[in-house]
Structure 1
Amino acid sequence: MLFLKALGLLPFVAMAFAGSSKFADTCQNVDGEGTTLRAECRVSHDGELRTSSIDLNRCLKNDKGKLKCGKNGHYSGSCINCTMRGHAEFTCQCRNAERDHNYVSTTIDLNKCVANNHGELGC
């Protein structure tokens, strides 16, 4: 770290780590409609906010009735009645391939799958 400080790069390293932080720690006014998650997210440590959105089909999958992180998982093809609870908890009824394809309740902390990358929501 001393080497980075000497080069004047320490602030940029700190911003890089902040840029990939859990979205709930750096975003506010989180809401959702359909498969779209929207929030106002901090661009940098100075507090500037940017409105961002992401299609959660890009970040979530249905794995035998359980929501899990998965790039381009297209969870919405087998899940219904999805809602946000709190700031980062996402709940759905998803088909369970092991139980006659019945719908079962499943919840995931979106902080595991969604990040704030300098004001832009990403997987």
Structure 2
Amino acid sequence: MLFLKALGLLPFVAMALAGPSKFANTCRNIDGDGTTLRAQCQERKDGQLRFSNIDLNRCIKNDKGKLKCGKNGHYSGSCINCSLRGTADFTCHCRDSERNHDYVATTLDLNKCISNDHGELRC
């Protein structure tokens, strides 16, 4: 392992053994536009960076004013003023169905919902 660490290959070996990873650990130039998350993500086999994007509506839902992971959750239908802070903190104001549908601030660590699978962003 020390030899792999010295060569800088340890992250790639760990990624290959672990399967899909939390995207922020293996992706660079992470940004968002509307509901689209974009990044350059490492592929497992050779560590090359690959452009990838994903519509966050496919991965996130609004659950009573809180952003949560959820396949085809379509959070954007009930959330406004969404932004990416840093590389993985996704913040919005979402309607709370239990509080007169008022908008409340909520933040979600996208690493809980998004992974890097061979250079592709996935839910």
TM-score normalized by structure 1? Answer: 0.86
CA shift, 1:99, in A, is 0.7
Runs of 5+ in structure 2 lacking a partner?
A: 1-11
How many residue pairs align between the two structures? 112
Q: Distance in 2 between matches of 1:117 and 1:81?
A: 29
Instruction: Describe the SS at the equivalent of 1:31.
Output: strand
Instruction: Describe the SS at the equivalent of 2:25.
Output: helix
Q: Distance in 2 between matches of 1:94 and 1:44?
A: 36
* CA offset digits 1:46-66 (Å, max 9, x no partner): 320000000000000000000
CA shift, 1:28, in A, is 0.5
1:77 aligns with 2:83: no
Identity, in percent, stands at 68
CA shift, 1:44, in A, is 1.8
Q: Distance in 2 between matches of 1:13 and 1:122?
A: 19
Larger CA Rg, structure 1 vs 2 = 1
TM-score normalized by structure 2? Answer: 0.86
CA shift, 1:35, in A, is 0.2
RMSD across aligned C-alpha pairs, in angstroms? 1.8
Runs of 5+ in structure 1 lacking a partner?
A: 1-10
Q: Distance in 2 between matches of 1:20 and 1:48?
A: 16
Q: Corresponding residue for 2:90?
A: 90
